Amino acid sequence: MEVSHTVVESPLGALTLVAEDGALSGVYFENHLRGPAPDALGPNVERGSGSPDSGFERARRQLAEYFSGRRTHFDLPLAPRGDSFQQRVWKLLDQIPYGETRTYGDLARELGDPALAQAVGSANGRNPLSIVVPCHRVIGADGRLTGYAGGLPRKRFLLDLEESHAGTGPGRLF
């Protein structure tokens, strides 16, 4: 397995993108809660370093489109590492439409067991693909912003960004 990373600038500060064998496996903020150890990131592939295409250009472009309001869903090869339950939760996250939110309880019900809300929250908090797999679209049952590995101000920024470009829809909870 070949692992590498690069750092891209965003309106939320530097983002570290990690790829494994050409598929995006991580998007991490500075001071990311539960982020990987630096030695797990592989070598840094810097933009314009003359190295062969690292596979990060597509992710870099799509993130820029997202932040400018021109992209509502990512189309990238992904390879998040997690157990089978986490993978199921992350697939549900990816189905939450741009500009909409769901509660942890909503996702637990979609998984077939309303009692799984805390487990959904735990899996959500371990999502290694921040922004790309939109864990920021999950909020508390009372509509409050809860937990985000990048910090609640970043979560609010992402929700506000999407709200400003999406208008209103049936799943709007903020």
Residues acting as catalytic residues: 135
For residues 166 and 65, what is the distance between their CA atoms, to the nearest angstrom? Answer: 14
DSSP 45-95: --TTSSPSP-SHHHHHHHHHHHHTTS-SS----B-----HHHHHHHHHHHT
Q: Are 19 and 72 in contact (CB under 8 A)?
A: no
d(CA 71, CA 125): 24
Tally of residues, the chain: 174
